[in-house]
Structure 1
Amino acid sequence: MTTQKISRIAILASLCIALRFAFFPFANIKPITAIFLVSSLFLPMADAFLIMALTMFGTAIYMGFGIVVLWQILSFAAIMLVWKWVWSGLRLSYWNSVLIPMLLAAVVTFLYGLVISLLSALQFGVNPWVYWLNGLSFDVAHAVSTALFYPIIDGIFRRFIK
């Protein structure tokens, strides 16, 4: 791994950690999901996974470790893989509009909420569907914020990462 690649991963993970803390007062309204999605398109998947995992571990140092960190990593990995699969399956002309990627980013963010809710429900031994529906308002906030942050993050990546 080159120094440039290590530096890029470290800087993006540090940025995600800082943004997660900056948006801490706002439940589930953070730009990190958009950064993870965009990085999975512009960088190799291994690099995008490293950025995501380092972000989760880095914030867990301050916010507390628990099994939920593993659930977050698994859930983000799942949506990043789905996002990459959806992106590669569609023709490029569909992505000329900013609205379609924003809507799809919101949809995969709902998938994140579903996956992490199911894993957490299994951990606590409660009904997974009731657990997911109980947190649906947080999933809506997360999906809307990801959709709104997506074009901003995408524009930054298009400008700086070649």
Structure 2
Amino acid sequence: MVLRFKEYWTSSVDESYVTTDFYIDIGKETCPQQLSKVIPQDPMAAEGNNNKEDMQAETLLYKRCCLESYSSQISNSSADEGSQKQVFYLFTMLGDSRSLMIKIGNRLKCRSTGLLYSQFYPSIKEVFAVGNIYPFANTAIKTLTLDKKLRKTWELVGGGLSY
């Protein structure tokens, strides 16, 4: 993979334009090696049954404990624990399922090797993050239950929706 990347890089990039502020955003998606797998809703009842209506799709999600382990490995490379910013995001209200974003602090050793940030989120994030707003994370969610006419009245009287 590295050899293919280097070949692609040298054929695509004129390094005379690369400055010290330049960085590469590398993404990695973790997927099962086999094709997407379908799991029966009731494995006992579906044994030997190939009816697709009785099957569910499967996706990979991150567990909070695994993300915390990664985060502690990154921060343990420096004596200053407060030199990185991390944010855990509750994902799809599924218990320990989370997403994580870490901004690497200037004092961390891995920053000097080029790691600026890490993000961990599942591919299905786009389904739940419309306009980068997640369910129940929008501060205006309370206004969804208001009657549309009442909201319009407030906007006209107050010159805008202040709530």
TM-score relative to the length of structure 2? 0.24
TM-score by length of 1: 0.24
Say which structure is richer in helix. Answer: 1
Greater relative contact order structure (CA < 8 Å, 6+ sep): 1
Give 1 or 2 for the bigger CA radius of gyration: 2
Q: Which has the higher strand share?
A: 2
